[in-house]
Structure 1
Amino acid sequence: MAYQRRKSRPVWVGNVQIGGDAPIVVQSMTTADTRDPEATLRQIHELADAGCEIVRLAVPDRVAAAALPEIVPYSPVPLVADIHFEHTLALKALDAGIHKLRLNPGNIRKPEDVREVVRKAKERGVPIRIGVNFGSLPPMTREFVDEMAAQNATHTELIAEHMVRTALGHVRILEDLDFGDIVISLKAFEVPVMVEAYRRMARLVDYPLHLGVTEAGTPKAGAIRSAVGIGTLLAEGIGDTIRVSLATDPVEEVYVAYEILKSLDLRQHGATLVACPTCGRVEVDLFKLANEIDEYLKTIKEPIKVAVMGCVVNGPGEARDSDVGVAAGRGKGVIFRKGKIVRKVEEQEIVPALKEEIQLVLAERAAGVPAVETGHRRISVPVVDA
């Protein structure tokens, strides 16, 4: 996809770069109780295995902060301490070796508290994300409301501008202390507000932007809402790191995040499934077939494109554009590799045959076999006979 990405300064979180010329970074957040180091580390490893590159932890109290020394040194990826209300928790997180802080200017409002944290973060070389959420904004002043009313601002524009100015207020505190390792987020549940806020901020600063739709919802609705909001901004070249917020296992957030990036051709990670929506021409149980392959592909970390098509109308075309594909017919399936027919199998053999071909492609890639030479066991089977 051709687009002009907004230029931003690089910020390092541990060994992961956000902004600059780095790829869009995928983040998530643990749901385990940080006061339980064993459970938290287990979930961090699960997220890292799924491709999560930075993990955020809730630090709600001093007990959670005291557990950080048992977590941070053993994490496979950089960790972010999520701090609300009590700035001393950020100080304890820094002592524990945390790689990044997330502060919410909506509930840490004393400038002197923020300054104390910033000084220590600067000493440790730890970046700070100024995280603004619509749900925890400070009250609007009458002067601000009147100013926006004079501009005939819509409700969306009013809220978005309030979010931007709130974030910039804290950014100025950091800048006054000569601190520039800043990442900014402006999250809202309402996608138009979130999009407008990020667009406004993108014109004002060169700090990396962390994209997200806060409290997006359950997996289905939340994935759609996140894809619309995050995807819109990424398509405009705005955004350096993303977190999809879903009310489910956070590993699912990582899968959705990568699907958003893959759909915009911004990153390739793991497998991509192409599956038709089915119609009256389909003569196999395509829903079951596609779901089984989709679950299997979650175990594949290398980029590979797999097509599962229910009939011969679009099947051959999609198969030509995929590494591995199947065009199914009445109780049968024709297996393709890069558009070349390699097998004809019975319906009950489609799933194991596809898995076998996927593993063969990956093995041949690892061995350096050119793609044009991978047409093993080719047979002459007319597609229309499937």
Structure 2
Amino acid sequence: MFADNPITRRLSTQIHVGTVAIGGDAPIAVQSMTNTRTTDVEATLAQIRAIAAAGADLVRVSVPTMEAAEAFKLIKQQAPIPLVADIHFDYRIALKVAEYGADCLRINPGNIGKEDRIRAVVDSARDHNIPIRIGVNGGSLEADIQEKYTEPTPEALLESAMRHVDILDRLNFDQFKVSVKASDVFLAVGAYRLLAKQIKQPLHLGITEAGGARAGAVKSAIGLGMLLAEGIGDTLRISLAADPVEEVKVAFDILKSLRIRQRGINFIACPSCSRQEFDVIKTMNELEQRLEDIVEPLTVSVIGCVVNGPGEALISDLGVAGANRKSGFYLNGQRQKLRLDNNNIAEQLEQQVRQYLVAREQLIGIKQLD
């Protein structure tokens, strides 16, 4: 339910990172970044597989040394999703990973060096038919821009980005996306708004170094939510000091909240009060664990009493509204004869969700045959 959203998306050109389209009318792509040592090939591959299993479309891998570039070659051969090679300081590493099959090169204008080095990276990207991300960061602006503005500002981030956009334009290379990240919400949002008016290329969104799992998720939701609601953004990464899998989950939660992209269950749940007829918090904790494997889009409401329960159930695929001893159960907004025992709501609702998905899949199959 609530399939549509009122957002008018900014029109951008489209590039491809491996098999994943970025920009244009493509779905907003979700990505994360490994935090293992890249030279530990098995650990990095294990994390990439976990990130992919959580639903990420892309994953970025830091390549700080030539030794890491050799490891990247092995990782790329087994990675289940496209890899973005994250390059700082040494442009020669970018040339090497392009040769080894990187699906995209991320370069930082603040430390990659002069135009001749950028030209070498662009030539390599062109030769290997891969895009580039110009990744501006408020914490690592070029020295002259830092001196000019004295501190990071939206205009400073924009100037850094446009300086390198102009270089790529002069080199007749248009297969790129741009990010202007900062750890401050207003700084990042301001920079992205300015950039969105200046270029047609896809924009990679992020609030960099956002913080730990809770604070970082909140900061990212506010900043990226503002931009996404304005139609700005073609791919995003949530930067958390936490398990990268959590970054993917938060990203999809943000997209689900704005009705931009659905993956898994959208839970509607009350915070609970003394009117609750069953333990809502315990039930929700159990349900999230029990149904974590569900990737099909679905809305499930779990409300502990009859004040808002029936109303929320009307806009849910499945819903429960708390009542004495046995709670009301709703399917596609309709009250059912079935009532759920308040002592094990989670188990019963899980069963109903799985049955519902099987029935929906069968119905889709029948319609396709028709």
Read off the aligned partner of 1:18 and give its amino acid letter.
I
Selected match of 1:289 from 283, 288, 306: 283
Q: Distance in 2 between matches of 1:200 and 1:330?
A: 55
Q: Tell me the secondary structure at the aligned position of residue 368 of structure 1.
A: helix
Q: Is the CA contact (8 Å cut-off) linking 1:226 and 1:244 kept in structure 2?
A: yes
* Partner residue in 2 for 1:375: none
Per the alignment, residue 368 of structure 2 pairs with none
- SS of structure 1 residue aligned to 2:125: helix
Letter in 2 for 1:91: L
RMSD of aligned Cα (Å): 1.7
Residue 250 of structure 1 corresponds to which residue in structure 2? 244
Moved more, 294-303 or 55-64: 294-303
Q: How does 1:181-330 map to 2 (within 5 A)?
A: 181-330=175-324
- Work out whether 1:57 is the aligned partner of 2:61: yes
- Which residue of 105, 111, 119 corresponds with 1:115? 119
- State the aligned residue count: 360
- The alignment status of 1:359 with 2:354, answered yes or no, reads yes
Select the residue among 321, 343, 347 that pairs with 1:348: 343
Deviation, 1:212, is: 0.4
The verdict on how the C-alpha distance between 1:248 and 1:141 changes in structure 2, with shifts beyond 3 A counting, is: closer
What one-letter code is carried by the residue in structure 2 that aligns with 1:346? D
Q: Distance in 1 between matches of 2:290 and 2:63?
A: 35
Identity among equivalent positions (%) equals 47
Cα shift readout 1:238-275 (whole Å, capped 9, x = no counterpart) = 11111111111111111111111111111111111100
- CA–CA distance in 1 between the matches of 2:33 and 2:17? 15
Equivalent position of 1:27 in the other structure: 31
Deviations 1:174-216 (A, max 9, x none): 2211111010000011100000000000101001000000011
How far apart are residue 60 of structure 1 and its match?
1.3
TM-score, scaled relative to structure 2: 0.93
**Letter in structure 2 aligned against 1:200:** L
In 1, the alpha carbon distance for the partners of 2:337 and 2:239 equals 41
Q: Secondary structure at the match of 1:287?
A: helix
Asked if 1:368 is matched to 2:366, the reply is: no
Q: How many Å apart are 1:284 and its aligned residue?
A: 2.3
- Cα distance, 1:73 vs structure 2: 2.0
Task: Tell me, yes or no, if the aligned pair for 1:47 and 1:251 is still in contact at 8 Å.
Answer: yes
**Secondary structure of the corresponding residue to residue 296 of structure 2:** coil
User: C-alpha distance in 2, partners of 1:205/1:344?
Assistant: 56
Match of 1:377 in 2: none
Q: Which runs of 5+ in 2 are unaligned?
A: 366-370
CA shift, 1:140, in A, is: 4.4
Pairing 1:77-156 to 2, within 5 Å after superposition? 77-140=81-144, 144-145=148-149
Give the Cα–Cα distance (whole angstroms) in 2 for the partners of residues 61 and 311 of structure 1: 58
Q: Is the 8 A contact 1:140 1:162 kept in 2?
A: no
- Counterpart in the other structure of 1:373: none
Maintained 8 Å contact 2:105/2:133 = yes
Partner residue of 1:180 out of 168, 174, 182: 174
Aligned pair partner of 2:17 in 13, 20, 24: 13
Counterpart-to-counterpart distance in 1, 2:148 and 2:34: 37
Q: CA deviation at 1:161?
A: 0.5
Counterpart-to-counterpart distance in 1, 2:221 and 2:326 = 35
- Displacement after TM superposition at 1:364 (Å): 0.3
3-state SS of paired residue (1:292): helix
- Between the aligned partners of 1:141 and 1:295, the Cα distance in structure 2 is 48
Return the alpha-carbon distance in structure 2 between the equivalents of residues 54 and 38 of structure 1.
18
Residue 345 of structure 1: CA displacement? 2.8
In 2 relative to 1, CA 366–72 (structure 1 residues): closer, same or farther, beyond 3 Å?
A: same
Aligned residue for 1:367, secondary structure, equals helix
Q: In structure 2, how many angstroms separate the alpha carbons of the residues matched to 1:31 and 1:143?
A: 32
Contact residue 183 and residue 209 of structure 1 kept, 8 A:
yes
Unaligned runs of 5+ in 1: 147-154, 371-386
Q: Pick from 43, 46, 58 the counterpart of residue 42 of structure 1.
A: 46
